[in-house]
Amino acid sequence: MDLLKYREMVENTSFCEPTAGLFKDHIQANLVILPFKYAYDFLLFCQRNPKPCPLLEVLDRGDYKLRALIKDADIRSCLPLYRVYEKGLLKAELKDISNLWQDDFVSFLLGCSFSFEGDFMKHELELRHIEEAHNVPMYISDIDCEEAGIFKGKMVVSMRPILKEKLRLAYELSAKYLFMHGAPIHIGDPDKIGIKDINSPDFGEKSSIKEGEVPVFWACGVTPQYIAQLLKIDMISHAPGYMLISDLKNEDLGILRGEKCFLR
């Protein structure tokens, strides 16, 4: 499937699967849509918590057209699946949120660890959730985020089992992806970061951990969804694992960082 075909199928709601493993070199992103009254606190929360919430793009108040990640795409219909939280409760999973749009909505796009999975595959690092064809497992850890205004809570993390002898490779590859959560937040002992049962993820599905493998945890862009539930606020987000796929490739990230100016 080519990217244009993919965009068409997402747009007409005929594609609805987790996006891990798709378009391997492309940047993937988490989505958070908030009423403007929460936007300053959330922007500050992202500034203070770059591991779970690395900002890639923020749209103007009320604007639903992306500028950088997918030129002129409509943020209300370019993801395969959305979640709608009302006062912190998950009210619906929808393939299109155009009907719910409000003039004061602000859309935030955050980096996603799926972005470096293509690089993992190139280096023959197995990705269990892709092998087993399920969504990546995500857990609510006991690591405190830095507070910003109303926003506070624990960090959500994603988990990938990695062979002991490949830990260094996994660490070093992901560390390069600073705006896609970067290096792992923890390696080895789920209990050390407050995860009681590795077989019961809070989001996504369980990955089996084979002999010789160690669970490795990365900060996760589902953190804001967990915090919206805690704070009992309204939020629209991507459904965990169903990410925005950018036109930009990882190697284009300099464009988002303003490095294009160097061409001047």
Contacts with its own copies, residue ranges (CB under 8 A) = 39-40, 43-44, 47-51, 55, 58, 60, 143, 146, 149, 155, 178, 182-186, 192-193, 219, 257-259, 261-262, 264
Which one, 18 or 111, has the nearer CB to its own copies? 111
Output the smallest distance, CB 172 to its own copies, in A: 13
Q: For residue 240, which of 30, 27, 92 has the smallest C-alpha distance?
A: 30
Which one, 195 or 228, has the nearer CB to its own copies? 195
Which one, 50 or 88, has the nearer CB to its own copies? 50
C-alpha–C-alpha distance, residues 201 and 184, integer Å: 18
Output the smallest distance, CB 132 to its own copies, in A: 27
Which one, 35 or 50, has the nearer CB to its own copies? 50
- Measured on CA atoms in the order 4, 9, 11, 15, is the torsion positive or negative? negative
Output the smallest distance, CB 112 to its own copies, in A: 16
Which one, 211 or 264, has the nearer CB to its own copies? 264
Output the smallest distance, CB 4 to its own copies, in A: 27
Output the smallest distance, CB 185 to its own copies, in A: 5
Evaluate whether 76 touches 101 at the Cβ level (below 8 Å).
Answer: yes
SS3 annotation, 63-79? CCECCCCCCCCECCCCC
